[in-house]
Amino acid sequence: SQQGEEDPQALSIQEGENATMNCSYKTSINNLQWYRQNSGRGLVHLILIRSNEREKHSGRLRVTLDTSKKSSSLLITASRAADTASYFCATDASGTYKYIFGTGTRLKVLA
Amino acid sequence: IAGITQAPTSQILAAGRRMTLRCTQDMRHNAMYWYRQDLGLGLRLIHYSNTAGTTGKGEVPDGYSVSRANTDDFPLTLASAVPSQTSVYFCASSEHASERQYFGPGTRLTVL
């Protein structure tokens, strides 16, 4: 079973718009990570947020974490065509060190 | 260039054959992971190793085995391949467990 579930499954926006994707998970965690995957390639780490953090920024990325709701969101501001990719959240259930990935959000940014 | 490499890039395999997918990292990371990615299912953890000499089972370990004889290498073996093991396999590493992971380029495996 999947620990993390992203929504929406697919998202299509115009260049310059903001993109928001959400991740829900089931158990308590040590941290939550977001990754990007371009078609057919390996995953690239974007950002890690620890369970005691509520918000984190990296460039045009903003991640929030609500442990009471067991959910996280990834916001990409001022999107570019190069942001077109699949985005995955990954969580490690506390005490296990085993990461569970969600099914991903496919983002398409139209130029 | 430092990083994580996988071999082969792709492979077509007859059912019942034994196959070892290779993974090597030169970052001296303690933790390593094997995932499979199937369309619509995201990545699923097969096996992991938090440090050389130790391994653990992930979500979908059946039909796969791993070993971690040293820090750098983490081979994944399919003892007797079946068509349901057709997938893209990714190896990853992190300096310690529960930290950011660095992914290899993947191995596309087809079992006929």
Q: What is the mean pLDDT of chain A?
A: 91
Residue B109 backbone phi and psi in degrees, to 5: -115, 130
Instruction: State the pLDDT at residue A1.
Output: 43
Least CA distance to B50: which residue of chain A? A97
What is the three-class DSSP state of B85?
A: helix
Distance from CA of A12 to the nearest CA of B (A): 18
Q: Which residues in chain A touch residue B40, judged by CB atoms under 8 angstroms apart?
A: 103
Share of chain A above pLDDT 90, in %: 74
**The pLDDT of residue B32:** 96
Task: Give pLDDT, residue A10.
Answer: 94
pLDDT above 80: residue A95: no
Banded model confidence at residue A2, pLDDT cuts 50, 70, 90: very low
pLDDT of residue A41: 86
* Cross-chain residue pair B45–A98, CB shorter than 8 Å: yes
A100 closest CA partner among B106, B58, B37:
B58
Each residue of B61-98: pLDDT tens digit? 999 999 999 999 999 999 999 999 999 999 999 998 88
Please give, rounded to a whole number of angstroms, the shortest distance from the CA of B100 to a CA of chain A: 7
pLDDT in tens, B6-43: 999 999 999 999 999 999 999 999 999 999 999 877 89
Query: For residues B103 and A92, what is the distance between their CA atoms, to the nearest angstrom?
Result: 17
